[in-house]
Amino acid sequence: MFKRVAIIGLGLMGGSLGLAIKQKGLCRSVAGFARRAETRELALELGIVDQVFERAPDAVQGADVVVFCTSVSSIPELLDTCREQLAPETVLTDVGSCKVEIVRRVEALFRRRPVPFVGGHPIAGSERQGIGAATAVLYQNALVALTPTRRTAPEARAQVERLWQGVGAKVQVMSPQVHDRLLAKTSHLPHLVAALLAACVGRNQPERIGPFCGSGFFDTTRIAEGDPLLWRDIICANRSEVSDELRAFSKQVGHLLDILKTDDPEMIERFLQISRERRRALIPRNSG
């Protein structure tokens, strides 16, 4: 059992982590930080935290583990403001969707070796945002990528693995570079494609077209409802990998246009068949 876990940022991810930790009885006390008074009040009301603070440095005092659950761009800066309040044995981690930039900036803050920070990213979430969307089961059976480096303290990695396994997640370790390459394909590109589809279909007379948007359109554009500021930070932090994937996607669009020019039904069917087979390879039927 941990003595105290501090959660910096009490939105969907941080709020869900607090609920899961409390439900599983993983620590004696959960502390939280949120800028908005309404969020702090709700965190206490919903039982997400035992104590909540309006200053991040106050929240981290006495914590075994500190989890940063804020936007990608703010994590290194927030961590830096907390450094003087951290105990020597305090372990640090985050839930950011990009790892290369965060790990680089955080490790630069620590001259001593090894570094007590372990980059983390739970592959879980929702198009809904905010503490009101938090749920204790968000991380149950979710995959959590951890991205330690040669500078990472072994005990820090062990503690972070124990925390995520304690809330029911499955941990997979990889480098920050591999993580960002994978997530550009499976998360960042799909978000931009959903945004492009919504922007394209809704570019003219959306009030007339809207009634004809069925479940297919709803399903394929659902994630475009995500917070634009949050996603701006993610895309900017992983710009290079995302650009590579957008070019690959554009190439596939060009290939499909070439097929349509042939006016060959069999080629269209073959394209759709291959696409279906690839989806099934990515997502076996028994998993969704």
Q: Does one domain contain both 137 and 200?
A: no
**What local confidence, expressed as pLDDT, does residue 111 receive?**
81
Q: Are 160 and 186 within one domain?
A: no
| b/e map 60-73, b = 16+ CB within 10 Å | beebbbbbbbbbbb
Question: 119, 145, 174: which is the final residue of a domain?
Answer: 174
pLDDT of residue 286: 60
Asked if 65 and 91 touch (Cβ cutoff 8 Å), the reply is yes
The DSSP result for 83-103, as a single string, is GGG--TT-EEEE--S--HHHH
- Work out the pLDDT band at 275, boundaries 50, 70, 90: very high
Per the prediction, the chain carries an average pLDDT of 95
Assess whether pLDDT exceeds 70 at residue 175: yes
Lowest mean pLDDT among 57-66, 76-85, 104-113, 273-282: 104-113
Alpha-carbon dihedral angle through residues 4, 7, 8, 10, given to the nearest 10 degrees? -140
CA 99 to chain CA centroid, nearest Å:
10
So what's the pLDDT on residue 12?
95
DSSP-derived 3-state class of residue 165? helix
- Domain limits at 274? 178-287
Question: Are residues 191 and 132 part of one domain?
Answer: no
In a shared domain, residues 202 and 113: no
> Could you tell me which residues come within 8 angstroms of residue 140 by beta carbon, excluding any fewer than 6 positions away?
20, 167, 168, 169
Q: What is the pLDDT of residue 1?
A: 85
Domain at 62, CATH number: 3.40.50.720
In the predicted model, what is the mean pLDDT of residues 140-169?
Answer: 97
Q: Please indicate, yes or no, whether residues 39 and 94 belong to a single structural domain of this protein.
A: yes
Query: pLDDT tens digit string along 27-53?
Result: 999 999 999 999 999 999 999 999 999
Q: Are residues 43 and 170 in the same domain?
A: yes
The reply to whether the predicted model has a pTM over 0.75 is: yes
CA torsion sign, 127 to 129 to 132 to 136? positive
Residue 140 and residue 192 in one domain: no
